[in-house]
Chain A
């Protein structure tokens, strides 16, 4: 049996398909006996082979269809399900940190540095409010701050952990702190990174910030209020945005900045989008959270 009739028989459920032309063309005397034995004698064999080939192709087709469905399920999971799960985890973790810090706060004595792991007040003041307290750098991957950006959503809050490793920090749906940059409130640059698309998309609206928008950073010591200043687009190797004075790596720090970095354009990530803010004020924990985020701090999902 040739390949064509074997394949055509796959689409025919009749276990013994008739050869085309057998009826329309009467068999000639000389060719009929020659063909008959070839077809008839091993009749059992090709039929069996046909059904094996048919089921192998059938199973292969079903496997391929299943694989395609799995890929679509994965994409759907990555874009929606994972984001929902990560965002609710983030909200709960951020609330947990706030509650933990509030519970650990000693009586309303302004700033009480408590030795080794405690914080030390810096001598100079920043604008209005109390002198910003600068905490010592935490251990790698430790969550040490909560970020509130009302422009990103009325109930938006994300954790900030030390380091920008994708797998251990950023893929958790929060932000990561470039550990070579300064801590919140310090003279210089508090630089953080987060995903723009996927993994909860924490910075998906980074391009929607408007001049004057507040960016709040909460640590164990209190709340740092930064005011959004400007945005810059750089290439992925533009590390100078992390300098104490962005784009001037050798200059001495004169401002207390926050720098948010994420990828740009959305879903392509051939560039980086950089948003800068300037510290406006520091609110010690004993004074309670700034009014704008008072309803958010410590509240679960």
Chain B
């Protein structure tokens, strides 16, 4: 999977590394902005800190 990705990337070594770093940054941003809050909401128990019947 990752070796195929590496082969697909164009340009010399430094360009590939740069593309990968930018891709990782974009991925982390997308995860923490959209994916993780969504997962967090799904995992939340209904009443975690309140006294309830």
Residues on A lying within 8 angstroms of B by beta carbon are 58-59, 62-63, 70, 73-74, 77-78, 81-82, 164, 166-167, 170-171, 176, 178, 193-196, 203, 234, 236-239, 241-242, 261-263, 269, 272, 274
Contact = CB atoms under 8 A, between A and B. Distances in A.
Interface in B34-53: 36-37, 39-41, 44-53
B41 A171 contact: yes
B51 A234 contact: yes
Interface in B4-37: 28, 31-32, 36-37
Contact of A194 (B31, B32, B39, B49): B49
B1 A63 contact: yes
Contacts of A203: 49
Contacts of B47: 164, 166
A269 B50 CA distance: 10
Contacts of A238: 51
A164 B36 contact: no
B32 A81 contact: yes
Contacts of A178: 50
Contact of A78 (B1, B36, B49, B51): B36
B24 to A, nearest CB: 11
Contacts of B51: 193, 234, 236-239, 241-242, 261, 272, 274
Q: Which of B1, B37, B46, B53 has the most CB of A within 10 A?
A: B1
B49 to A, nearest CB: 5
13 contacts: A73-B28, A73-B31, A77-B31, A78-B40, A164-B47, A166-B49, A167-B44, A170-B50, A193-B50, A237-B51, A239-B51, A239-B53, A262-B49
Interface residues of B, number: 20
Contacts of A261: 49-51
A1 B40 CA distance: 49
B1 A239 contact: no
A77 B36 contact: yes
B47 to A, nearest CB: 6
Contacts of B2: 62
Contacts of B41: 167, 171
B35 to A, nearest CB: 8
A262 B50 CA distance: 6
A295 to B, nearest CB: 30
B45 to A, nearest CB: 7
A263 B52 CA distance: 12
Given A166-B48, A261-B51, A269-B49, 8 more contacts: A59-B1, A77-B32, A81-B32, A193-B50, A237-B53, A239-B52, A241-B51, A272-B49
Contacts of A237: 51-53
A86 to B, nearest CB: 11
A74 B49 contact: no
A236 B47 CA distance: 10
Nearest to B45: A166
A74 B36 contact: yes
B49 A196 contact: yes
Nearest to B36: A77
